[in-house]
A and B are shown apart, each in its own frame.
Chain A
């Protein structure tokens, strides 16, 4: 079975540019999560969706960040404009509802110069 698929794997861009990260969850999973991982802050939940609906976006750092899930098989995390402090590894994870394991994608390593 295919796991969670994220793209791109690596992104290097200059500050001020728009960045779009993409995620395809495991088929049949109802919940999707976006995380950010840095050495300083660890693994932080940014936003999560249940049945394509955003449930909790309290972890989104500021208005420059936005996330969408137009259908059950696709989600995007957008940063506009990007800043050097946004540099991190961004993970997408999906799961079935109700205290089930979260399956992580391989992540996108983002570097903002």
Chain B
């Protein structure tokens, strides 16, 4: 079952912060985050594993709440380059290894 991402879209001014959530109805072992710019391939940002700590990439960080089966991606002091669609990919417990189910995506537009 596909994880649910919220919000579906967000518009920011440069320097503002945003949070993107990814929720699953299944117990999760790992959550992957990717960013895709228009007309390009998804690009890996970070992986969070069950029991793992919060991760960071530039001023983008993420957390993983195992009890809530939810991950959140934090865009801090957003830059124009952060614009794109963000996808979470989830892997349930006892999965075969690296098979991801992607959420529907969150479109982020950062304006000057």
Known contacts A43-B102, A55-B96, A99-B49, then 20 further A-B pairs from the complex at CB < 8 Å, ordered by chain A residue: A31-B97, A31-B98, A42-B103, A42-B105, A43-B42, A45-B99, A45-B102, A48-B98, A48-B99, A95-B98, A97-B97, A98-B97, A99-B29, A99-B47, A100-B47, A100-B98, A101-B44, A102-B44, A104-B42, A104-B43
What is the interface residue range for chain B against chain A? Answer: 20 to 34
Question: Is B100 positioned at the interface, with any CB of A under 8 Å from its CB?
Answer: yes
A-B contact count (CB 8 A): 56
B41/A104 in contact, CB under 8 A: yes
Residues of A contacting B44 with CB < 8 Å? 101-103
What is the interface residue range for chain A against chain B? Answer: 20 to 34
Q: Bound complex: CA of A91 vs CA of B89, how far in Å?
A: 15
Question: Is A25 positioned at the interface, with any CB of B under 8 Å from its CB?
Answer: no
Shortest Cβ-Cβ A-B pairs, 9 listed? A104-B41, A101-B44, A43-B102, A42-B104, A104-B42, A99-B30, A106-B41, A31-B98, A107-B41
Residues of B contacting A100 with CB < 8 Å? 47, 98
Question: Is A18 positioned at the interface, with any CB of B under 8 Å from its CB?
Answer: no
Q: Bound complex: CA of A95 vs CA of B30, how far in Å?
A: 15
User: A40-72: contact bitstring with B at CB < 8 Å (1 yes, 0 no)?
Assistant: 001111001010000110000000000000000
Which of B32, B99, B101 contacts A101, CB < 8 Å?
B32
- Residues of chain A in range 78-113 having any CB-CB distance to chain B below 8 Å: 91, 95, 97-107
Known: A45-B99, A56-B99, A99-B47. A105 touches B105 (CB 8 A): no
